[in-house]
Structure 1
Amino acid sequence: MFPSNLIRKKFLDYFKKNNHKIIHSSSLVPQNDPSLLFTNSGMVQFKNILTGVEEAKVKRATTSQKCVRAGGKHNDLDNVGHTFRHHTFFEMLGNFSFGDYFKEEAIYYAWNLLTKEFQVDKNKLLISVFHDDNVSKEIWKKITGFSNNKIVSVKTSDNFWSMGETGPCGPCTEIFYDYGNNFKGSISSKGIEGDKYVEIWNLVFMEFNQINKNKRVNLPKKCVDTGMGLERISALLQNTHDNYQTDIFNEIINLIAKISKSENNNADNLSHRIIADHIRASCHLISDGVLPSNEGRGYVLRRIMRRGMRHAHMLGCKEEIFYKLAPLVIKEASKVFNELKMAESLIIETLKNEEIRFKETIDKGLKILSDEIKKTKNNKLSGETAFILYDT
């Protein structure tokens, strides 16, 4: 079994060995893109290189990028805890080529790392390609020996990546793991459905520039941008279909159960999973300078924190618990992201103060509700009362 820290190290070392420069994760607050609330993929810190605004200082790079998807176009907040694989915070492992290698080398690197270095059974892997990207399809056949039934041509936008309505774009090819017949799912030209086939790695080949909706031209420099979620590959390599049953989450879920004095049934306890995810996101966001507020990034952070705190309340916690969970998150993650250790006191203080305020708000709302229920007739609350509760 591969621990997650070893998976990250092997990934970065593998690409370093293949002449890629290891570049540290950028902040969760994008420095070069005001259109984004948070860094949501590995390519964000390289956007100006991919669009041609900046010249690349290196031709090959590899990263383990901190990502948050909890606002804007990419928002997984409401799915967290309800699926095996959604998170507000996650790490994206990636390798990048800026006008250097292209499809054949990128496909070879991915296949070799998965099947040789990580020893994933190739018979459990399937490939999707964009329906008119015959070049990638033929490369996959040559490298893997797969027949057409293991390389699926997909006609939907799932296999064509674009930065927006205009700008760099191109086909992508995805590697899926087949978790077997205990799970329902299908893969076809219409895309992927269900939990049987899980996307492990996405390889994007940026070879076009979309001028307008009717005009697309070739880019002067073709680039590669790949992304593989650390949580997903950890689940696969730790023999589980469930990200929350990996070493990334086991300790924090155990601590949540201990502090809340609730039954530790990882597979079924929705609140444990939500709290575990949200405390990770909260710690990382605060360490990157985001503080809870009523607008913008701070508002999203407050939503994440209070959603987790509400679930702590549902578990019966009478006292604040988020600040008690933070040291474990910081201890584990600061081995890679030292900014957590540097911001430890700020993180703990912010979490404690926010949970105190949240509990005061809950108590105030419950008192208003209790008082109004006593005065209601026909079991109906007035619109005015409903508005007061909402505003509270």
Structure 2
Amino acid sequence: MTGDEIRKKFLQYFEDRGHTVVPSCSLVPKNDPTLMFTNAGMVQFKDVFLGEEKRNYNRAVSVQKCVRAGGKHNDLEMVGRTARHHTFFEMLGNFSFGDYFKKEAIQFAWEFLTDVIGLPRDRLYISVFEDDDEAFNLWVDEVKMPRERIYKMGEKDNFWAMGPTGPCGPCSEIFIDQGKTVGCGQPSCEVGCDCDRFLEIWNLVFMQYDRDESGKLTPLPNPCIDTGMGLERLAAVVQGRTTNYDTDLMMSIITEAARIIGKEYGKQDEVNVSLRVLTDHARAS
């Protein structure tokens, strides 16, 4: 399955379920002095989440072009040196503005990954916020996820906030086990390990609180859903690649760059890193 086919399947799946397909917004956000570049799918919907803007739909789906080259989400120094970090990437996302919530978001994500994309159920793992018993139970009851494959994590990993104050909430992440040969080899390796064995592919954010300056959390009157999944990561998993750079989304650029500089990709680490950096920056430019 090509990267383009994944894009189309994602948009079609959610459009068939009442979501409005919204085009990717500009890489330079409009009317948002807090950001230099659009770094997530939710950026163009920020005012909707804050209740400051209304749209003529309450379900949306997009494939957002993103750049992360500084600030909170800065992957610049990791580009080319890891299998999964980029300055430019495409984020698949579905959103609910006061319409559906945790149950439907979990069901949609599971059905898309397993039935549409065809990922093996027995290789998928879940993380939830440690205090979010509702999400834990939904994974168990709605998709029959074994309890031992659901990990409860702390606020650092599984609680999302737009900023120090404002909308926030717990999140639930979906991981795929890429096998021991991809991992660090440590006996303690599990979901949450920094190696690539358990690869995060989708983050479901349950925006259900408003945090004030004192840190108090007040339930939002209309909870929202904000999800994000990297197209490049999913393509690597589907195409059986251990690095995003070896997918059809990038290999044509790598091949041409290698031809131009007269080097062969895949032989030397130093050359591989250089070609990956060239490819990433070419996509971002």
Mark yes or no: TM-score above 0.5: yes
- Which residue of the partner structure matches residue 126 of structure 1? 125
- What is the TM-score normalised by the length of structure 2? 0.95
- Which residue of the partner structure matches residue 151 of structure 1? 150
- Which residue of the partner structure matches residue 275 of structure 1? 278
After superposition, residues 35-54 of structure 1 pair within 5 angstroms as 35-54=34-53
Q: 1:267 to 1:220 in 2, by over 3 A?
A: farther
Contact 1:162 1:170 in 2 (8 A): yes
Cα deviation for residue 267 of structure 1 reads 7.7
- Which residue of the partner structure matches residue 187 of structure 1? 190
Cα deviation for residue 229 of structure 1 reads 0.3
- What is the TM-score normalised by the length of structure 1? 0.70
Identity over aligned pairs, percent: 51
For residue 279 of structure 1, what is the amino acid of its counterpart?
Answer: A
- Which residue of the partner structure matches residue 362 of structure 1? none
Alpha-carbon deviations, 1:258-289, whole Å to 9, x = none?
1111122278311110000001101xxxxxxx
Contact 1:253 1:266 in 2 (8 A): no
Cα deviation for residue 230 of structure 1 reads 0.3
Q: Compare the two structures and name the one with the higher helix fraction.
A: 1
Cα deviation for residue 78 of structure 1 reads 0.8
After superposition, residues 215-234 of structure 1 pair within 5 angstroms as 215-234=216-235
For residue 261 of structure 1, what is the amino acid of its counterpart?
Answer: G
For residue 56 of structure 1, what is the amino acid of its counterpart?
Answer: R
Stretches (4+) displaced over 3 A: none
**Are positions 1:114 and 2:113 aligned together?**
yes
Contact 1:32 1:45 in 2 (8 A): no
Q: Compare the two structures and name the one with the higher strand fraction.
A: 2
Contact 2:182 2:242 in 1 (8 A): no
Unaligned runs of 5+ in 2: none
Cα deviation for residue 25 of structure 1 reads 0.2
Q: Could you say which structure has the larger radius of gyration?
A: 1
After superposition, residues 1-392 of structure 1 pair within 5 angstroms as 2-184=1-183, 186-187=189-190, 191-265=192-266, 268=269, 269-282=272-285
The higher-RCO structure (CA 8 Å, 6+ apart) is 2
Contact 1:4 1:248 in 2 (8 A): yes
Unaligned runs of 5+ in 1: 283-392
Alpha-carbon deviations, 1:34-86, whole Å to 9, x = none?
11111000000000000111113210000000100002221111100000000
CA distance in 2, matches of 1:118, 1:30: 31
Report the count of equivalent residues.
279
The alignment partner of 1:212 has SS state of coil
CA distance in 1, matches of 2:172, 2:55: 24
The alignment partner of 2:190 has SS state of strand
CA distance in 2, matches of 1:93, 1:267: 33
Q: 1:25 to 1:267 in 2, by over 3 A?
A: farther
For residue 282 of structure 2, what is the amino acid of its counterpart?
Answer: I
Alpha-carbon RMSD across the aligned residues, in angstroms, is: 1.2
Alpha-carbon deviations, 1:131-172, whole Å to 9, x = none?
000000000001222222101100242100001110000000
For residue 58 of structure 1, what is the amino acid of its counterpart?
Answer: Y
